[in-house]
Structure 1
C-alpha cells in the first residue's frame, strides 16, 4: 500500500494518518483561545487516553495507524540537510526573522532537540520566552513581554489531520489553510509528500503556497469520478476552480466532475463534513440545517484545458442521488429533534468516520443521534469524547485516510 488510494468515503479503510494530541494543548491559555481557534482547553491526559482508544478501535478493525509526527521524524532523522531546511522554514513561518532571536532559537533547538522525534514534537508544541536563559535588558520587546509569552505559538489543531492535506484518488491536495494560526500545520504534509519513502512522488493537485484557501474537511470523495467540495467559511471558490483544473488536466486522476456545495459561512457549518458524511452505500448523516433548497455548482472539463460550470438549485437528496446513480437516505443528526440536533451538532454528531460500508466511528456523547443510527441498521464503533470534542471536530476530522479498498 505504498502511495495513497482514496476513491470513496466508505471503501474499507486500510491505512490512516492521525496525530496524537501532545504538549501543544498545554500551551493553550484563556487569552489565546480565540486566536488559536479553540472554545475551551482540553485536559491533555484524558484527551490522549481518548485518542489512544480511537486509534486502538481502528487497529482492532484492521486499519494501519500512522502518526503524522512520526512520519515527519522519519523524514528528518537521517538527513541533516532536510532537517536544517525544515527548521529554517519553520522559523520563517513563525515570523522569527531578527538575527538575534533566530540565532537563539536555532541554537536552542540544536542543543536541546537533537533527536528527530523530539524536534518535531517541539515544533508542534511551540516555544515560550521562559524557556530561554537570556539577558532581557537587551531588547525592549523582551522587557515588556511576560514570562509566559509565546515566541512561537503552539499548533493545537493538529489532531484534526483531515484539514492540512487531503487525499483525492491516488493524489493529494496540500492545502492553504483559512487561519494564519493553522497555516504552519501544512509544513509537515509538504515534507512528508516530498521526502518520505512511503509517500514521495504522490501527485499533487493543490499546493500550500497557492493563493486561495481550501481545507480537507471540505473535500469528500463521492466516488472515483465525482468529488464534492464545500464553499464554506474556510474554503474559497477560487481554490475549487484551481483544484478542478488540476484534476481534469492530470492524467493520473479519474475525477471528471467536481460538485461545489455552497454552505452557510459560519462556525457551526465550518466544513462540508460538519454537515454531512457518508456512512454506507446509500446513507449519509446530515445536519438538518442543510436540508431544503441548496445551491450546488457542477464543474466539468470543457475539453480545451479549462472548466465549464453549471449552477443547480435542488435539494441535497436529489443531487446526491443523481451523481451516485441510485437513491440515498439522509439520516438527521438528533433524529429530527431540532434541540438535540443543535446540541449534538456542536459536538460533531454528523461528523463520522466510515471504516467500511455501514460501519462508522462516532463520539459516545451524541447518544440521541447514535441511538437513531443503530435503529437504521448501522454498526457503530463508539469512542470516548469528553475532551477531544472540545476542539470542535469529530472522528472524520481527526483522521486522514491514506488507503481505502476500492468499492465493487
Structure 2
C-alpha cells in the first residue's frame, strides 16, 4: 500500500475531492499465521499523557502509563516487524489522508466535540477552530484530545476558571487507539466495521471505518452504525475459510451472531465458530485467551481453556442463523481447519505465575509467519512453552504497553498475509 501524502491546499470540497488520498495495493487476510506482508500500527502519542489516576478506569487503563517508555517499546515492536520484511502503515497517515476531504473534516469535527460541551455558541467556536487546522494538527487533536485550557490559550481568550481546565475537554482523547485490532479487523478482503462496547472508544471505529472507505477499501459495515457490540479482538481468521468470534464482556452474543450471519451470507467465511468466554477483565477478548502460532497450533491460557464453550453457526432457510453446541471445541476446530489435530500450547509454572502472565497478555501474540511470533518479554513461561513447541519467539519490551491490557496481537491490524 502506498499512501499519497499530498495534502489539499484549501478547504474547498471540490478541490479536496479531486485528490487521490491512497493507492491501495493487494489486501487479504485469510489466516492468522500466513506470512505477514502489511500491517497497520498506531504509535502512541500525547493521548497517553491524558491518563491520570482519576480517569484511568474510565479510560480502560489499569495504571498511569509513561509515554516516552511506551513509545520506545512500540518503536521496538515496529522495528521487529520491519526487520522481518513487514510493511508498516501508520493509522495516523490513513486519518490524515481522509482529512483532505471537506465532508470528512465536517463530519469528524462534529463527531469529536466532547459530549460534555453544551451550547451552540461553544460548539461553533470549537468547530471553527478545528476546521482551520492543517490535517496533521487536526489529526493530533482528534487522537490526543483538547482541553478547555488549551483551547482558550490557542485562541488567546481568558480561561473560564469555573471549570477544571486541565480535566475539562472540548475534544476527548483516545488513549486506546494503540490497540488498532479492536477498531478495524479484516476478514478476507473486507474490513469488518466494529462497534465498541465502551463509549470512550466509539469514535475510533468511526474514524477507522471512514478512513479506510476514503482509501478505497471494501467494508462489511460502517463503524458509525448502531447495534450490538463487536470488537476486533474477538475476531480471529483461523484459516481454511473458518472464522472464530468470541462472545465476551466486550462482544455481545447478539453482536457475534449478527456478524457470523453477515460473514456467511456474503461469502467472507465458509464456517464460523462462536466461542463464549468467561466475563472477566483478564479475558476481555478472544485473543487474550487464545491466538494462533502455526497452521495447526494455538497458544492458549491454560487457566481458561477448559471453560470455553463453542457453537457452530449455520444459515437457516430463512436467512437467519442456527447455533449448534460443540462438545469438543478443538476437535471441531481441527475438522474445520482440515488438520488431523489442533495442538494447544500453554504455560507451565504454578497457578500464581500462570495468572500473572495471563493478566499481562501471555496468550496474546502476533504471528509474523507460521511458527514465528512476537510476544511480550515479561511472559517467560508462555514464551518458554512456545519455544519448547518449536515456535520462534521474538520478544518485545513490555513495561508500559501492557498497562492498557493489550499485547502484540491487539496492537496490530494485519491487512495482507500470504
Equivalent residue for 1:285, pick from 299, 306, 331:
299
Q: What are the residue-to-residue correspondences of 1:26-37 with 2, within 5 Å? A: 26-37=49-60
User: CA shift at 1:278, angstroms?
Assistant: 0.5
User: CA shift at 1:383, angstroms?
Assistant: 1.2
Q: Which moved more, 1:275-284 or 1:322-331?
A: 322-331
1:211 aligns to what?
A: 227
Given the superposition, is the C-alpha separation of residues 110 and 383 from structure 1 closer, same or farther in structure 2, using an over 3 Å criterion? same
User: CA shift at 1:81, angstroms?
Assistant: 3.4
1:153 aligns with 2:172: yes
RMSD: 1.9
2:147 aligns to what?
A: 128
User: CA shift at 1:115, angstroms?
Assistant: 1.9
| TM, length-normalised to structure 2 | 0.88
Q: What are the residue-to-residue correspondences of 1:334-373 with 2, within 5 Å? A: 334-373=347-386
Contact 1:4/1:202 (8 A) holds in 2: no
Unaligned runs of 5+ in 2: 2-24
User: CA shift at 1:97, angstroms?
Assistant: 5.0
1:88 aligns with 2:110: yes
1:249 aligns to what?
A: 265
1:309 aligns with 2:323: yes
* 3-state SS, counterpart of residue 348 of structure 2: helix
* 3-state SS, counterpart of residue 182 of structure 2: coil
CA–CA distance in structure 2, aligned partners of residues 5 and 223 of structure 1: 12
CA–CA distance in structure 2, aligned partners of residues 148 and 22 of structure 1: 18
The superposition leaves residues 366-404 of structure 1 with CA deviations (integer Å, 9 ceiling, x where unpaired) of 122212211221111111111111111100000000111
2:128 aligns to what?
A: 107
Given the superposition, is the C-alpha separation of residues 151 and 206 from structure 1 closer, same or farther in structure 2, using an over 3 Å criterion? closer
CA–CA distance in structure 1, aligned partners of residues 386 and 251 of structure 2: 29
User: CA shift at 1:46, angstroms?
Assistant: 1.1
CA–CA distance in structure 2, aligned partners of residues 312 and 148 of structure 1: 49
2:10 aligns to what?
A: none
1:227 aligns to what?
A: 243
* 3-state SS, counterpart of residue 327 of structure 2: strand
| TM, length-normalised to structure 1 | 0.90
CA–CA distance in structure 2, aligned partners of residues 261 and 82 of structure 1: 37
CA–CA distance in structure 2, aligned partners of residues 5 and 136 of structure 1: 50
Equivalent residue for 1:13, pick from 36, 39, 42:
36
Given the superposition, is the C-alpha separation of residues 66 and 3 from structure 1 closer, same or farther in structure 2, using an over 3 Å criterion? same
Given the superposition, is the C-alpha separation of residues 181 and 293 from structure 1 closer, same or farther in structure 2, using an over 3 Å criterion? closer
Contact 1:205/1:243 (8 A) holds in 2: no
User: CA shift at 1:214, angstroms?
Assistant: 0.6
Given the superposition, is the C-alpha separation of residues 257 and 206 from structure 1 closer, same or farther in structure 2, using an over 3 Å criterion? farther
1:329 aligns to what?
A: 343
Given the superposition, is the C-alpha separation of residues 50 and 136 from structure 1 closer, same or farther in structure 2, using an over 3 Å criterion? closer
Contact 1:256/1:300 (8 A) holds in 2: no
Equivalent residue for 2:204, pick from 185, 188, 211:
185
1:43 aligns with 2:66: yes
Contact 1:217/1:397 (8 A) holds in 2: yes
User: CA shift at 1:10, angstroms?
Assistant: 0.4
Unaligned runs of 5+ in 1: none
CA–CA distance in structure 1, aligned partners of residues 111 and 308 of structure 2: 42
User: CA shift at 1:249, angstroms?
Assistant: 2.2
Given the superposition, is the C-alpha separation of residues 41 and 308 from structure 1 closer, same or farther in structure 2, using an over 3 Å criterion? same
User: CA shift at 1:293, angstroms?
Assistant: 5.3
2:272 aligns to what?
A: 258
User: CA shift at 1:254, angstroms?
Assistant: 4.1
* 3-state SS, counterpart of residue 204 of structure 1: coil
2:252 aligns to what?
A: 236
Contact 1:169/1:224 (8 A) holds in 2: no
Contact 1:295/1:312 (8 A) holds in 2: yes
CA–CA distance in structure 2, aligned partners of residues 88 and 144 of structure 1: 22
Q: Which moved more, 1:284-293 or 1:202-211?
A: 202-211
CA–CA distance in structure 2, aligned partners of residues 53 and 155 of structure 1: 22
1:68 aligns to what?
A: 91
